Amino acid sequence: MESELAEIKGIGEKTLEKLTEAGLGTLMTLATSSPTEVASVAGMSETVARKLIKNAREALSLGFEKAKDFAKKRDSIKKIGTGCKAFDDMLEGGFESGALSEIYGEWGVGKTQICHLLVVRALLEDKKSKAIYIDSENTVRKDRLVDFAKANGLEADDVLDRVYISRAYNSDHQMLLIDEVERMVQADNSYRILIVDSLTSHFRAEFIGRGTLANRQQKLNKHMHQLLKIADIYNMVVIVSNQVQSDPGQMFGNPIKPIGGNIVGHASTIRIYLRRGKAGSIHADLVDSPNLPRNECNFMLTRDGFKDI
């Protein structure tokens, strides 16, 4: 990948090194970057950066293509299921790669549980598959990974050896970790899933009051597009959990709304709302999807994973 980038006119050894360190070490990542971003990391003017991006796009022949050719890209889509028939049927097989899926709901409803489960299920594809988990709420637990590993017929030590976890301590650190993720997947194409649990925890804590709302949303928007870029370019399953808030001005209907507003709503490819059901069950609503109809299901959370009722 780096050798292809080195052949682009205007990219010398030092520029290549800077781009690689910033996670822009491939033709595709350079071609899909903004001039401002490239200029910042490479220490050049935006005019020069724009020329490099143009050269990279020409090398990849990026442009328009027929719908039937564009549709062929869907053939490379892979899905990760939960093992729960009702849930997986709702998604027609599971969470798909190349998309950004958001799971939101109140505390204790099972968002982190499904993140743990999907990390383990991603490793079932083959013995080389790996997973990345960014934890912003200190909720990752080895015991749950071991539980799900045993329930899915995997060796616990093997699972723990193939799941890469990092704790995000603030929003800036969380965004820097995404840059690191891009460097990791450029060097190794065996990563199948990226989990961010949760997406908005730090943004919500650091940006307080209406006066900071614009800055928060702008930063969150950039973060979401970083995740979308990784999902699309590297064909990864990217899942984020999200917190909710209660709207005091909601007179009728459900007052629960996900954090992030329209920024998160528009950036998410698939949105799933989890809420508590009857008799200890969990109710899942497929709120938004570009190709699936609105749907819902009920399931139980057990020690071994999600089970049909």
Q: Please write the tens of the pLDDT for every residue from 235-294.
A: 999 999 999 998 877 777 788 899 999 999 999 999 999 999 999 999 999 999 999 999
Distance of CA 250 to the CA centre of its chain: 30
pTM above 0.85, yes or no: yes
Q: CATH says 74-308 is which class?
A: alpha beta
Per DSSP, what are the bridge partners of residue 95? 80
The string of pLDDT tens digits covering residues 106-125 is 999 999 999 999 999 999 98
**CA gap 144, 209 in Å, rounded:** 36
Residue percentage of the chain with pLDDT more than 70: 99
Reading the block at residue 61, the tokens are 């022949």
pLDDT mean across residues, the chain: 92
Q: Where is 205: in which H helix or E strand?
A: helix 201-206
- Confidence class of residue 3 from pLDDT cuts 50, 70 and 90? low
CB-side neighbour CA atoms (13 Å) of 189 = 4
210 Ramachandran zone, left/alpha/beta (phi>0; psi -120 to 50)? alpha
Q: CATH says 2-60 is which class?
A: mainly alpha
Domain layout of the chain by residue ranges: 2-60, 74-308
The string of pLDDT tens digits covering residues 26-73 is 888 888 888 999 999 899 999 999 999 999 888 887 778 888 888 888
pLDDT for 61: 77
pLDDT for 250: 75
Residue percentage of the chain with pLDDT more than 90: 73
Q: Could you give phi then psi for residue 137, rounded to 5 degrees?
A: -125, 10
